[in-house]
Amino acid sequence: MSKVKEAYGEIESVVGEDFVSDKDFMKAAYSRNVDPAFPDRWADIIVRPETTEEVSGIVKVANKYKLRMVPRGGGADLVGGSTTDSGILIDMTRMNKLEVVNKDDYYIIVGVGITWGDLLSQLLPQGYTPGVTGPGSGYAATIGGGLSNSTAGGGSTKYGLVPDNCLGLEVVLPNPEGTIIRTGSWANKYAAPFCRYGVSPDFSGVFLGDVGTMGIKVKAAMRIYREHPYKANRVFILKKYDYNKVFLLAKKIRYEIPDGLLGLSSFPPFYFAQFKNVPQFKDTKGPGVTVTL
C-alpha cells in the first residue's frame, strides 16, 4: 500500500469518511484559484476539518508520512497559494463560526474559514464592523486568507491591512506533534484576547503574511468597531486621466478621512455609471452612491 493510501486511512479516522476524499472530481474542484494564469494542480488528498484538534491530527499524519500540507480558505487568491500538486490540501471553510462578540473590549473570535460575507452579515446588524470589509476577490474570501496574505481591502485606508486588526491567533504548528498554540494576550489561559502584545514577543507576526507556511491558523481574535449610523458612497471619475489630478484627489479624499478608498481607476465613465442606481448601494439612512464626472 502506498504512503498516500495509508495516510488517507488515518486521516479518515480523524475527520470521518464524509470529509476526506481522493476522488478525481474533488481534486479537480480544488485544483485552481481564481487566477486563470495558474495551471491546474491536483492534491493527493482533500480534507475538510471542523475543529482545532482535527487539524492537529491531520498535521501528525502528514508528518508521519512526509506529505506536504497546504491550508486553503475560499480559494480566492491570485498567487497560487491555495493549491498544491501533491500531498494534503486542507480546506478550512468548515471552521466558519463567529464564536465570540465582545462588545466591551471590542473584539471577536472567529474560525479562519468564515468568509467576509458571512462575518459582515452577522456583525453589521449588531451595529459593529471589522473595519476592513474584505479584499478585492470578494465576499467569498476568508478571514484566514486575509491574514495569510496581508490583505488590504475596503476600509484599509482608515483601518489598515487585515493583519493590523488581528489581536491574537490559535495556530497548529507543522511539527510532528501538531502542537496547538495561542498568541498575544490569548496565550495566557487566564486572559482574553484583547491585546496583540502579551506575555512574550509578538508571535502573531510570525504567522501573519506567511501564506500558511509557518503554521495552520485555525482561529483569530480580531478588532471590531462601531458601525456608523449614516453612510454615503461616492465614485469620482476623471474625464481625462491625469496622474496629477489623481494624486490631488487622493490627497483630498484622505484628508477628509473616509472609512475606505477602494481605488482610483482608469476605467471609462460608462463602466461606473451602472452603479448609480444599484439598490444595494443605497442606504436607508444615507444618500447612496453619487457618481461624479
Domains in the chain, CATH or no CATH each: 3-91 (3.30.43.10), 98-226 (3.30.465.10), 232-292 (no CATH)
Short-list 97, 75, 89, 96, CA closest to 148: 75
**Residue linked to cell 498516500:** 4
Return the pLDDT at 102. Answer: 97
CB contact set of 145 (below 8 Å; sequence gap of 6+) = 73, 74, 76, 77, 82, 135, 151
Q: Using CA atoms, how far apart are residues 57 and 62, in angstroms rounded to an integer?
A: 9
Short-list 229, 247, 249, 237, CA closest to 275: 237
For residue 96, the 8-state DSSP code is -
Phi, psi (degrees; rounded to nearest 5) at 64: -60, -40
| Residues of the chain predicted below pLDDT 70 | 1, 138, 233-241, 253-293
Return the pLDDT at 156. Answer: 84
Helix, coil or strand: residue 168: strand
Return the pLDDT at 288. Answer: 44
| Beta-strand relationship, 107-111 and 98-102 | antiparallel
Q: Using CA atoms, how far apart are residues 112 and 220, in angstroms rounded to an integer?
A: 6
Helix, coil or strand: residue 219: strand
| Beta-strand relationship, 98-102 and 88-91 | unpaired
- Cβ atoms 212, 70 nearer than 8 A: yes
Strand ranges (E), the chain: 20-21, 45-47, 69-72, 88-91, 98-102, 107-111, 128-129, 166-172, 180-182, 216-223, 225-226, 232-236, 288-292
